[in-house]
Amino acid sequence: MYKITTKKRLIILLLFTFFYLSNSFLIAQKQDISLEDIFTKGTFAARGVQGFTSLNDGRYYCNLDSNQNLVRYEFATGKAIDVLVNHEDLKLNGADKAIEFSSFEFSEDETKILIPTMAESIYRHSYKAVYYVFDLIKKKLSKPISDKVMHASFSPDANKIAYVKENNLFFYDLNRMQEVQITKDGKMNNIINGSTDWVYEEEFAIWKAFFWSPKGDKIAFYRFDESKVKEFEMAMYGSLYPSQTKFKYPKAGEANSNINIYVFDTKSELIAEMETGKETDIYYPRMQWTKDNNKLCIQRLNRLQNKLELLIADANSGKSNVIYTEENKYYVEITDNLYFLKDGKSFIISSERDGWNHLYQYDLSGKLIKQITKGNWDVDEFYGVDEKMKTLYYNSAENMIGKKPMNKSNERYVYSIGLNGKNKATITNNKGWNTAIFNSAFTYFLNVSSSLNNPTSYALFDSKGKQIRILEDNAKLKDKLKNYTISNAEFFDIKNSYNEELNAWIIKPSNFSADKKYPLLMYAYNGPGNQLAVDRWMGSNYFWYQMLAQKGYIVVCVDGRGTGFKGEDFKKCTYQQLGKFEIEDQIYVAKELGKLSYVDASRIGFWGWSFGGYMAGLAISKGTDVFKSAISVAPVTNWRYYDNIYTERYMRTPQENGESYDSNSPINHVEKIKGNYLIIHGTADDNVHFQNTVEMLDAMIKKGVKYDSEFYPNKNHGIGGSKTRLHLYERMTRFILEKL
């Protein structure tokens, strides 16, 4: 047996002491994270990639280089092939300086490029801009449209451009160099042609409301009559007399726009109205041409949003018939997952009809051909169909990487599957969150992949799942993080009072000790179908939570009932009772976490933004005995104040379900508030109006409830701008350190 002498013991002790002190020195050298690092210095900014504009042949793609030259690259190698557009060629009529731009759109035949410049934002998605056309054959720049316009787009034959100007629809004939006005009754806050009203843009994510037919000789368009919709008004500060911004905003239970759908024939210049039924209090959330130049598909959704129909209208006569109907005891989700196959005989659509969101094939008479995907997991994004190979591509919450397929609702993977529902294969293998952007031929895709503790990486794959090359892996940021005090977020499942498993993650202080007591900050959004407790890089908030962990706080995020990808019943159980079960789960989980030996149950806080801000308002009121402090950013405080498409989808109208509106709105529970409450809002929030916070404060004042508040002049729902964000997070951090 080896004998350790006294001298050897002394040497071992000295070596141990040396390594212990060295390791302690290295730990001490780790840098702490500051708010300036996160919000103004860009210390932790992850690098992205431009993505690509795929060319029709599928072999090449285009991107702008740093000098605004439009360069053609090869997918297989990433090598630059040639310069399609030299920035110096983008000079109009011999001007000294080329136009500045950051985006472009090819015509369908790739002979021309449409270039928007001087963009001016309107709402969340919509904008108007000055548009130029560059002819790739003639190498000539022109400015056919003199004004700032909206939604400019080429006809399929590249000879015309349609656009919206001052609420009217126009097209410009590039051959005749002539502008043709299609509608003439457009009027601000009254009649809109070819564009959508505020609530369609926000809640149906549709803002361009006209569509070229496949041959480019017809334009289908929406006409919104907003005259009966009530106006909302916001003050914009910065001048001696603040200006007033007015727009039509239909709140829950209030009147909507009346909508008609027309088709304009560019040859005859005649307009035909499409038959959409006698009911006027109804929605048309999507419209698209089939592969037939005379057949237009119109989606019709009743106001309660629990019955969706697909109408096929004849573009010449306007006559229509219903080919597909879906009814749901809760509501029907509106997606872009509708694809008409080139054979003109069938279409692909997604549905939750079996309790999970899956892809189905129907013929044009509405007869089910087959259910293509199946299982206890949800399809998230449907990317399209490679008709040549009879293959569909999508991503979903199914995990097939292990030995047994399972639903991993907090992860996403990209799949291929045959049109016949066979030969399903995973074509991404990075654990965590995977999405895809395919080229036009479905031969390559850009895989955007991340996980909760790993920044986003971008890699090019072929359609079989073979990695071609890495475009950006954010290795520099990963190396930089080694110099900072980072405590990895950890996933865990926790059950609610009904024994249902909820997804969650936790961030603990890096020097965590189970023998100590820590304050706990909870974070949630919890809006219907939404998720936050997912294995995906979260960006700046990740570092804010790390900073709070450095200061001795535990941060936890839990997705309760009502969130997505655990099946329809889990998501839609909150129907007509929005907020009730969601806050019950957060309160229950907070109590359970408070029982842990290392959590100080007297110091549990909650914060959230938008729907999460609404949840924070319920936490500090309904959960007043559990939560010491809460922060609401841009919160809904009364569902009667929010827009009708969103609110009625989940709550029906106040006229039908007023009691539930009131019992689940924080404004009606202010007398319960005992803890510390900070409420924050932008004064120019066109989405969740500042009214929500003003009325909440008024209710608290009347009940003698104390509160803290912070307002951001002329800021919308996102409260953006680097200095503004820094100020916002400094304010929230100070509140947490002082009040939790």
**pLDDT recorded at residue 30:** 86
**pLDDT recorded at residue 14:** 38
Check pLDDT > 70 for residue 15: no
% of the chain residues with pLDDT over 90: 91
pLDDT in tens, 121-177: 999 899 999 999 999 999 999 999 989 999 999 999 999 999 999 999 999 999 999
pLDDT in tens, 299-355: 999 999 999 999 999 999 999 999 999 999 999 999 999 999 999 999 999 999 999
| Range name among 16-25, 37-46, 164-173 with the lowest pLDDT average | 16-25
Question: Quick one: CA dihedral 363, 369, 372, 377, positive or negative?
Answer: positive
DSSP string of 505-520?
A: EEE--TT--TTS-EEE
pLDDT in tens, 683-715: 999 999 999 999 999 999 999 999 999 999 999
- For domain 478-739, give the CATH number: 3.40.50.1820
Mean pLDDT value across residues 463-482: 95
Residue corresponding to tokens 């109006």? 689
For 35, phi then psi, to 5°, come to: -65, -35
Alpha helix (H) ranges present in 133-269?
A: 198-203
Q: What is the DSSP letter of 373?
A: -
- Report how far apart the first and last C-alpha atoms of the chain are (Å, whole number): 58
DSSP string of 294-333?
A: TEEEEEEEETTS-EEEEEEEETTT--EEEEEEEE-SS-PP
**pLDDT recorded at residue 402:** 64
Residues recorded for the chain? 740
> What global pTM score does this model have?
0.93
Q: Around 83, how many Cα atoms within 13 Å sit in the side-chain half-sphere? A: 12
Residue corresponding to tokens 């002329």? 714
- State the pLDDT confidence band at 384, using cuts at 50, 70 and 90: very high
The tokens describing 397, both together, are: 């919450």
Q: What is the DSSP letter of 111?
A: S
Contact 204, 649 (CB under 8 A): no
pLDDT in tens, 560-585: 999 999 999 999 999 999 999 999 99
For 358, phi then psi, to 5°, come to: -135, 170
Three-state SS for 661-700 is: HHHCCHHHHHHHCCCEEEEEEECCCCCCCCHHHHHHHHHH
- State the pLDDT confidence band at 242, using cuts at 50, 70 and 90: very high
- State the pLDDT confidence band at 101, using cuts at 50, 70 and 90: confident
Mean pLDDT value across residues 413-440: 96
Radius of gyration (C-alpha) of the chain in whole angstroms:
28
Mean pLDDT value across residues 43-61: 91
Check pLDDT > 50 for residue 191: yes
**pLDDT recorded at residue 29:** 75
Check pLDDT > 80 for residue 388: yes
- State the pLDDT confidence band at 403, using cuts at 50, 70 and 90: low
The tokens describing 580, both together, are: 């009730």
Instruction: Tell me the sheet residues that pair with 520.
Output: 554, 604
Contact 735, 49 (CB under 8 A): no
Distance of CA 418 to the CA centre of its chain: 28
Check pLDDT > 50 for residue 107: yes
Q: What is the dihedral of CA 181, 185, 187, 189, to 10 degrees?
A: -130
Q: Closest Cα partner for 570 from 618, 636, 616, 503? A: 503
What is the C-alpha to C-alpha distance for residues 104 and 444, in angstroms, rounded to an integer?
21
Give 423 or 23, the one with higher predicted confidence: 423
